[in-house]
Homo-oligomer: A and B are copies of this chain.
Amino acid sequence: MTSMTRPSGRAPDQLREVRIERAFTRHAEGSVLVSFGDTRVLCTASVENRVPGFLRGKGEGWVTAEYGMLPRSTNTRNDREAARGKQGGRTLEIQRLIGRTLRACVDRRALGERTITLDCDVLQADGGTRTAAITGAYVALVDAVRWLQSRKDIARDPIFGAVAAVSVGVYRGVPVLDLDYAEDSDCDTDMNVVMNDGGGFIELQGTAEGHAFRRDELDALLGLAERGIGELLAAQREALAR
């Protein structure tokens, strides 16, 4: 380990402060404001009694996600995607990722012919919005399922295990956990890791634009991610127990 200092002063294996506030808004069946430091994402879970066309009549449910950033959640204002008339490639990529990883912990037959939509809207961005979104959306999803159970709409719990996500990267030669924006924009290699509470990998997305990473760097990054996700899973459990 070198004498490198992170912009935030954190240790290389230290998460930012994680906060998970449930029932942040009142209409949605699940509504969670998740914060990873200054990154704040509002995750709502909406239940609807219908499924997309390709699932109709099959006795299965669906879990999907949409993602957006408020125009001034970032340092300089971004165009509003609704005004531009389309969602950008990054947005589509992230919302596909969120939906896919949360479906990995849902028994869709137990859910029945229902759709749960997870809307993840970034109120303030400071790096790691997609990993915060996955981590928060999981809690919103559980709340929506509990709501269904409280109404006796479903017989058994469709959720198995838990899912959380974190980013890792090589910053100035040192593998670090949970990159903030200052690190992310000054870092050649970063990886988003989604895991479940059984220690299995749900999704790995590692990118090296310019500097390729070696197998030993990959191993170090995966170790950091496992550690960070353990803490995030604990934070989810604690929030859900409140």
Which positions in A face B, CB cutoff 8 Å?
25-28, 31, 38, 40, 42, 44, 46, 48, 66, 68, 70-75, 77, 80-93, 95-96, 100, 103-104, 117, 119, 121, 123-125, 191, 195-196, 198-215, 218, 222
Of the candidates B90, B123, B205, B210, the one whose C-beta lies within 8 Å of that of A204 is: B205
Q: How far is the CB of A131 from chain B (nearest CB, A)?
A: 15
Complex contacts, A201 vs chain B, CB 8 Å:
206, 208, 212-215, 218
Say yes or no: B212 contacts A195, CB within 8 Å: yes
Cross-chain contact A42 with B27 (CB below 8 angstroms): no
Shortest beta-carbon contacts, A-B, top 6: A200-B212, A89-B92, A81-B82, A204-B206, A44-B72, A46-B77
A27, B103: Cα distance in complex, Å = 31
How many identical subunits does the complex contain?
A: 6
A and B contact pairs by CB, cutoff 8 A, 7 listed: A25-B123, A26-B124, A82-B87, A85-B85, A88-B92, A89-B95, A198-B212
Q: Are A202 and B208 in contact (CB under 8 A)?
A: yes
**Contact indicator A214/B191 (Cβ below 8 Å):** no
Taking the closest CB of chain B, its distance from the CB of A223, in whole angstroms, is: 10
A222 surroundings in chain B (CB, below 8 A): 215, 218
In the complex, which residues of chain B have a beta carbon less than 8 angstroms from the beta carbon of A72?
A: 25, 27-28, 31, 44, 46, 119
A96's nearest neighbour on chain B, judged by CB, is: B89
Residues from chain B with Cβ under 8 Å of A199 in the complex: 214-215
Q: A72-B119, A215-B222 are in contact. List 15 more A-B contacts (CB 8 A).
A: A25-B40, A42-B123, A70-B121, A71-B119, A82-B82, A82-B87, A85-B86, A93-B96, A103-B210, A104-B209, A200-B214, A201-B212, A204-B204, A204-B218, A218-B222
Of A27, A203, A211, chain B has the most CB atoms within 10 Å of the CB of A27
Chain B residue nearest to A117 (CB atoms) is: B77
List residues of chain B with CB within 8 A of the CB of A28: 72, 77
Q: Which of B90, B202, B207 contacts A203 (CB 8 A)?
A: B207
> How many angstroms from the CA of A8 to the CA of B85 in the assembled complex?
39
Bound-state Cα–Cα, A32 to B68, Å: 20
